[in-house]
Amino acid sequence: MCGIVGYIGARKAQSVLLDCLGKLEYRGYDSCGIAVLNDGIEVRKDAVRVKALAKALAPLNGTTGIGHTRWATHGEPSKVNAHPQCDCTGRIAVVHNGVINNFQKLREQLAEEGHTLASQTDTEVIPHLIEKYYDGDFVKAVERALKDIEGSYTMIALMAGESRLVAARKDSPLIIGIGDRENFLASDVPALLDYTSRVIYLEDGDIAVVNAGGVRVKNNGSPIVREEHKILWSVEDAQKGGYEHFMLKEIHEQPRVIRDTLAEYIASAEPIADLTAAGGTGPEDLLILACGTSYHAGLVGKYIIEGLVKIPVRCEMADEFNYAGQVSARNKALVITQSGETTDALKAVKKLKEAGCEVIAITNVVGSTASRLADRTIYTRAGPEISVAATKTFLGQLIALYWLALPYARVDIRRLDELVRELRQLPVKVQQVLDNEAAIADIARQMAGYENIFFIGKGINYPVALEGALKLKEISYIHAEGYAAGELKHGPFALLGSRTPVVAVVAQDNTCEPVITSIKEIKARRSPVLVLMSEGDDDTAELADFVITVPQIDPLFSPVVNSVALQLLAYYVAKQRDCPIDFPRNLAKSVTVE
């Protein structure tokens, strides 16, 4: 989940590395550091954010270097645990993203051989292993060191006296940016947008030797050519554009995300993925796997597909499926991952493929690992999402799920036409929610003083309650829990009272009356109630202490407008509490470790 970068060329490496690291802080930000090759290797690191490190540093003159921004796995955030990590001699420096499972055994073995390891990190064993195996050939020493390592890694190694970088990938993302007599390495595309739009995605098992004039890649000891890709995102896509926070910008980009995603699907005469089995019949079932916010999108997808296509759908957390899930070769599976690099999701894809299952991936990143492993990929076209809390990518996933299901909907043609018209109206409906921003911000100021909040929903809006609670806890640090409305009575009622408000999502469908009944039961326990409902529902409004309204819409699409309203609520609660909205504590954007 850490961010790593490398540079080799004619520019001063220090400024390039710090600039790229600043664009990767969504991957981790509890410490950071750089190593620059000059006469030897000069390392500068600390348990601070990238801007603070940059401000404190004196100029370094080298034009080759590596950098790291950390999300701690082994050892607390500190200067000694920050990367880069070096060997005893200080001639070898390494940055690493991943987890080395056998690091304790390696650490003990190295200590017995006379190596002194100073940090608590698993990463530190890598430069010591390279030092151990170095006999004049830097690349071979890295290759031998990696053979000793069990676990996941993306790493870049730098050695004094060597005018090249050596990088390797296993289970964590790494891309090479191709420039003019200069080359770059990074964990993710946004780091490189200011410098190049030409990238190579490394695959598992790749070892790359990178110098200013070119790149050589080997896999399993044999040279291999990796295809070069063109990045379509612009520099402006990864900037705040005048908004106070990336999260607010990304919330406001959602009408555009819906339009762009729909435009691509509507322009195609074919369904975006095949939901039929061999012979043209519907699959016996569909398995959806995802993590975090993407899992909530998958739960909405379960309701969409079961309601329209009339097939059974299982939606499971990918990390649990990897240890308990049963796979049948006849299954068709849908794996949802915003980054396309989520470790648990990728493990699930590999498990499914080994069982002979057809895999469809929904992701936001062209060329990501998930897109290369899956049989078919559906792209959400949301552009780069910098804020750790997902917003526009979640809506992009919902739109992809609607369009995935509609060609196979078992409804009459009139109903199908209505649904397509409503789908095309979603950008306008979402903009109407955004136009109500000031009213939502006012309610958020009143909610910001609470420390525990429940969210409830039912049917297709039950996952919306889960997602609303997740957004609030992620960025405001309020303890928030999402429940199916009927489940609140089975235990959580013990926590209700005047200091425990409940956010109730009310849709105009067959779940409306049961949710209203739940609201009355909650009010009887003296809990304040915030109702999120459609415009014109005056009877429900009378039950509420606070009301947020959204435009009237077909209930099938209510998760879209309701989710946007809850994103704004979470944002303004966090702002009122003066929280670091884009980079909440302990979190990172792309979860590339178990």
pLDDT digits (tens, 9 = 90+) for 505-528: 999 989 999 999 999 999 989 999
Residue 489 — pLDDT band, cuts 50, 70, 90?
Answer: confident
Q: How many domains does the chain have?
A: 3
Residue the block writes with tokens 């089995």: 277
365 and 495 in a single domain? The answer is no
CA dihedral 21, 392, 588, 386 (to 10 degrees): 10
413 and 484 in a single domain? The answer is no
Residue-wise burial string across 299-314, b where 16 or more C-beta atoms lie within 10 A, e elsewhere: bbbbbbbebbbebebe
What pLDDT does residue 60 have?
Answer: 92
What pLDDT does residue 186 have?
Answer: 94
**Domain's final residue, options 392, 424, 456:** 424
**Is the model's pLDDT at 593 over the cut of 70?**
no
Residue 160 — pLDDT band, cuts 50, 70, 90?
Answer: very high
47 and 196 in a single domain? The answer is yes
**Is the model's pLDDT at 233 over the cut of 80?**
no
Alpha-carbon distance of 25 to 20, in angstroms, equals 9
Residue 103 — pLDDT band, cuts 50, 70, 90?
Answer: confident
Does 291 fall in a domain? yes
Q: Annotated catalytic, 353? A: no
Across the range 362-384, mean pLDDT stands at 89
Alpha-carbon distances of 331 from 21, 299, 301, 327, 578, rounded to whole Å: 41, 18, 17, 7, 47
What pLDDT does residue 539 have?
Answer: 81
263 and 390 in a single domain? The answer is yes
Does 351 fall in a domain? yes
What pLDDT does residue 268 have?
Answer: 63
**Strand (E) or helix (H) holding 15:** helix 13-22
Question: What domain range includes position 370?
Answer: 240-424
- Residue whose C-alpha is closest to residue 172's, from 1, 317, 367, 387: 1
Give yes or no for a contact between 144 and 89, defined as CB atoms under 8 angstroms apart. no
**Strand (E) or helix (H) holding 413:** helix 413-424
DSSP summary character for residue 123: T
- Residue whose C-alpha is closest to residue 62's, from 46, 45, 39: 39
Tens-digit pLDDT profile for residues 179-195? 999 999 998 888 898 89
Does 588 fall in a domain? no
Report the share of the chain in percent with pLDDT over 90.
65
**Domain's final residue, options 424, 447, 481:** 424
Tens-digit pLDDT profile for residues 4-31? 999 999 999 999 999 999 988 877 778 9
**Which residue among the candidates 170, 249, 575, 589 is catalytic per the annotation?**
589
Alpha-carbon distances of 322 from 203, 316, 421, 452, 538, rounded to whole Å: 21, 10, 39, 32, 47
410 and 463 in a single domain? The answer is no
What pLDDT does residue 541 have?
Answer: 86
172 and 245 in a single domain? The answer is no
What pLDDT does residue 282 have?
Answer: 58
Does 126 fall in a domain? yes
Q: Annotated catalytic, 589? A: yes
480 and 402 in a single domain? The answer is no
Does 31 fall in a domain? yes
* 137-146, 154-163, 236-245, 297-306: segment of lowest average pLDDT: 236-245
**Domain's final residue, options 211, 231, 251:** 231
Burial of residue 198 (CB within 10 Å: 0-12, 13-18, 19+) is middle
Does 295 fall in a domain? yes
User: In CATH, what number is assigned to the domain containing residue 446?
Assistant: 3.40.50.10490
What pLDDT does residue 512 have?
Answer: 92
22 and 170 in a single domain? The answer is yes
In sequence order, the β-bridge partners of residue 452 are 479
* 65-79, 196-210, 443-457, 461-475: segment of lowest average pLDDT: 65-79
**Is the model's pLDDT at 504 over the cut of 90?**
yes
175-179, Cβ contacts within 8 angstroms, sequence gap of 24 or more:
175/199, 175/200, 175/201, 175/202, 176/200, 176/202, 176/208, 176/210, 176/215, 178/215, 178/228, 179/9
129 and 247 in a single domain? The answer is no
**Which residue among the candidates 2, 20, 86, 291 is catalytic per the annotation?**
2
Both tokens assigned to 573? 């609660």
Burial of residue 92 (CB within 10 Å: 0-12, 13-18, 19+) is buried
**Is the model's pLDDT at 496 over the cut of 80?**
yes
Give yes or no for a contact between 395 and 481, defined as CB atoms under 8 angstroms apart. no
447 and 575 in a single domain? The answer is yes
Residue 260 — pLDDT band, cuts 50, 70, 90?
Answer: confident
Averaged pLDDT score across all residues of the chain: 90
What pLDDT does residue 284 have?
Answer: 66
What pLDDT does residue 494 have?
Answer: 87
- Residue whose C-alpha is closest to residue 379's, from 359, 360, 351, 406: 360
Tens-digit pLDDT profile for residues 559-576? 999 999 999 999 999 999
402 and 456 in a single domain? The answer is no
